[in-house]
Amino acid sequence: MSNMATTIDTDKSRRKTVLMSSALGYVVIIGISLATIVILSLLLSETPGKTLHYFFLGSFQNLYYFGNMLNSAIPLMFGGLGIVIAMRSNNLNLGGEGQIYLGAFVTTITALALAPLHIIGLIVALVLGATCSGAVSALSGVLKYKWDTSELISSFLLSNALVLIVNYFVTGPFMDPNTNLLATRKVPEVFRLHKILPPSNLSSALFFAIIAVVVVYIYLFKSKGGYELRMFGINPKFALYGGIHKAKNIVLPMFLSGALYGIGGGIAIIGTYYACVKEFSAGMGWNGLAVALIAKNRPFAVIPAAIFFAYIESGAKNAMLHSDVTAELAMIVQAVVFLLVTSEVLYTLYTNKKGKLS
């Protein structure tokens, strides 16, 4: 305790040090991940030059690939934001897989039912999708508040069940009889978002994602609700001491987290897929979690983190199409990124070098 307070270094230079070490950490992470790609390509590919070319540059080769890469980052942004909100309140929502799928399904069938209502129908559909996913996630929050059940486990298990239930509806009562696809009917034209980078799939959903980032940022850092949520996340005892509501800050963040996943699912439908295809969203929930971890729970950092994740995935896809590697390459690289990001060590490399921290 008594080793402080003689001369206080300026706040600015301290912040600069922290910022630099974190930037350095990211450089190391990106460097190692890219090195992994190079090494794996050399090992696994007969034509490593071609593989690497398509992996790194494929996404920038034409507007089609580039737009699709950005498009696949959109659901990751929503998922990432969902996790950011949950983690800031010290809750963890592992039910993203089910919630994104449920949101997409509910949005689809509502949109189909409300086709004559045009824009109002669209808003109702998205809100309903978000609410359903939010409610499922909030249920885990209620269980945690009432009986101290781990929200981590309950959200994960609920989500697994949800996927199966939605599968039943998509391939059963709501399946489109006119195609051979395991999918619902397509939402009417009026509900579909504009393509902004033809011929790619990139739609105006990107703007929705950016708006969501801004809204989440303002909520977390500028509003009273967000302040309470963050304080509860940092130290629940302190929050209670300050008169902050306990139930509200377990259930509400979980609801918002699920709702963001739900909207992500709904927007993927109206922006890209138009119909709820069986398990079209598999993996998006988990990747959202990874994106939030890379972003270190900062809303604005979710955008580059999601794009980086999508870049690696689409790079692997391109390499797979044009060369001889398999999709597992992307998975391995993503796993490496994940590992590096979650190990805090790299961020403190710079600060630790100059001697022991107290």
Partner 1 sequence: MGIMGTKAVSMSDITKIYTSNGLRANDDVCFDAEIGEIVCLAGENGAGKTTLMKILYGLEAATSGSIHIFGNKTSISSPLDANRLGIGMVHQHFMLIPEYTVAQNVVMGIEPTSWGFIYCEKEANEKVNEVITRHNFSISAEQKVSSLTVGQMQQVEIVKMLYRSVDILILDEPTAVLTEKETAALFSTLENLAAHGKTLILITHKLNEIKQISNRVAIMRKGKLVDICTTAEVTEHDLSRMMVGKPIDLQISKKETTSASEDTIISFSNVTVEKRGQERPLLNKISFSAKSGEILGFAGVGGNGLGILEAVMSGFLPVTRGTIYHKNKDISNCNTRELRKDGLAYVPADRLTIGSALSATVEENIIVSSRRSFIRRGLIDQERVEAYAGELISRYDVRAKPQMPVGTLSGGNIQKLILGREIDQFRDYIVFSEPTWGLDIASSQFVYKKMEELRDSGAAVLLISSNLDEILTVADRILVFYRGEIVAALCCSESETVSKERIGDYMLGLVRQDHDRLTARL
CB of 169 to partner 1, least distance (A): 39
CB of 14 to partner 1, least distance (A): 6
| DSSP assignments along 302-342, one per residue | HHHHHHHHHHHHHHHHHHHHHSS--THHHHHHHHHHHHHHH
CB of 348 to partner 1, least distance (A): 10
Cα–Cα distance measured from residue 129 to residue 108, given in angstroms and rounded to the nearest whole number: 8
CB of 228 to partner 1, least distance (A): 7
CB of 249 to partner 1, least distance (A): 11
Cα–Cα distance measured from residue 176 to residue 178, given in angstroms and rounded to the nearest whole number: 5
Q: Is the Cβ of residue 116 or residue 243 nearer to partner 1 in the bound state?
A: 243
Q: Is the Cβ of residue 73 or residue 239 nearer to partner 1 in the bound state?
A: 239
Assigned token pair, 137: 């996630």
Cα–Cα distance measured from residue 139 to residue 187, given in angstroms and rounded to the nearest whole number: 29
Cα–Cα distance measured from residue 8 to residue 315, given in angstroms and rounded to the nearest whole number: 48
Q: Is the Cβ of residue 118 or residue 245 nearer to partner 1 in the bound state?
A: 245
Q: Is the Cβ of residue 14 or residue 146 nearer to partner 1 in the bound state?
A: 14
Binding residues (CB under 8 A) for partner 1: these are 1-9, 11, 13-14, 218, 222-224, 227-228, 230-231, 234-235, 237-245, 351, 354-358
Q: Is the Cβ of residue 9 or residue 46 nearer to partner 1 in the bound state?
A: 9
Q: Which string of b and e fits 312-325 if b means at least 16 CB within 10 Å?
A: bbbbbbbbbebbeb
Beta-carbon contacts of 309 under 8 Å, excluding residues fewer than 6 positions away, are 73, 76, 287, 290, 291, 294, 334, 337
